[in-house]
Amino acid sequence: MSGPLISVQGLAVGFGGQPLLEGIGFEVEQGQVLVIIGESGCGKTLLLKNMIGLYRPLAGRVLIAGTDLAASEGDQRRAVQRKFGVAYQSGALFGSMSLLDNVRLPLEEYTRLDDAAIELVARLKLSQVGLLGSEAKMPAELSGGMQKRAAIARAMALDPAILFLDEPSAGLDPVTAAGIDQLILQLSDAQGITFVVVTHELASIFAIADRAVMLDREARGIIAAGKPEDLRDHSPHPRVARFFHREAAP
């Protein structure tokens, strides 16, 4: 395929016609890990939801593999949706299904694998996030961190080309969080999966990110973009430096 896998052009997003972020533009190449950072409440989740077509942008467009999701319908829309998986900030597991069934559901709907094969694929996904042995548990019986990890496993179920993860390691212990980082790197190296990750964990940003995009509420847009090391060491913007040096606002 030619060109970037994801291309965001002149995007404005917000609620009730009021833009929260404007003029957002960036691209993600296949196999890249892009990290979206910014203070709490600046609109990272909102931007992510616009990228995956849950909300309609106020202006601009998002192309995924060359298709504008917001402007497509029916089969075309479903074809794009199958290219990516999403792990939501709150987990959003289906409460009436066991963990295994949560991961099995998309496999049953979209692949022609038989029952035993689907079960094994789903169990491999769960073991990749360290949840082997908890297959029969219901989401309500899981700890917060386990729900997060299960949501990642479900997002990976169909081996999508792109994974959108909203704060995958928030609330996890450092060891498990490092495990998630390792998983992201492994998948992007071996299978060329593209990642768009919202995260606040500095260690995780330096470990996984090829590129970081920093959003800002006051500037209503991107205030810095580039390799995390460059942002940390060379950004002229005081808010960027504060973020990377973990300093409180004056």
Ligand X SMILES: Nc1ncnc2c1ncn2[C@@H]1O[C@H](COP(=O)(O)OP(=O)(O)OP(=O)(O)O)[C@@H](O)[C@H]1O
Alpha helix (H) ranges present in the chain? 44-51, 74-81, 99-110, 115-128, 144-155, 174-190, 202-208, 228-234, 238-245
Q: For residues 28-47, which are near Mg ion according to CB under 5 A?
A: 45
Q: Please check whether residue 163 is in contact with residue 195, taking contact to mean a CB–CB distance below 8 angstroms.
A: yes
Residues in 59-98 that interact with Mg ion by CB under 5 A? 89
From the list 189, 191, 233, 196, the residue with the least C-alpha distance to 211 is: 196
**Strand pairing partners for 21?**
13
Residue position matching structure tokens 């309609």? 56
In angstroms, give the least distance from the CB of 222 to ligand X.
13
Residues 3, 15, 133, 141: which binds ligand X (CB under 6 A)? 15
Binding residues for other proteins, per CB under 8 A? Answer: 95-96, 98, 100, 107, 110-114, 116-117, 119-121, 123-125, 127-128, 132-133, 135-136, 138-141, 156-159, 186, 189-191
Distance in Å, CB of 122 to other proteins, minimum: 9
Q: Does residue 220 touch ligand X according to CB under 6 A?
A: no
In the list ligand X, Mg ion, other proteins, none, the entry touching 42 (Cβ below 5 to 8 angstroms by class) is: ligand X
Q: Bridge partners of 197?
A: 35, 165
Q: Long-range CB contacts (< 8 A, 24+ apart) of 133-136? A: 134/99, 135/98, 135/99, 135/100, 136/98, 136/99, 136/100
- Is 197 near ligand X (CB under 6 A)? no
Closest separation in Å from C-beta 55 to other proteins: 23
Q: Which residues bind to Mg ion, rule: CB under 5 A?
A: 45, 89
Q: Which residues bind to ligand X, rule: CB under 6 A?
A: 15, 20, 38, 40-46, 89
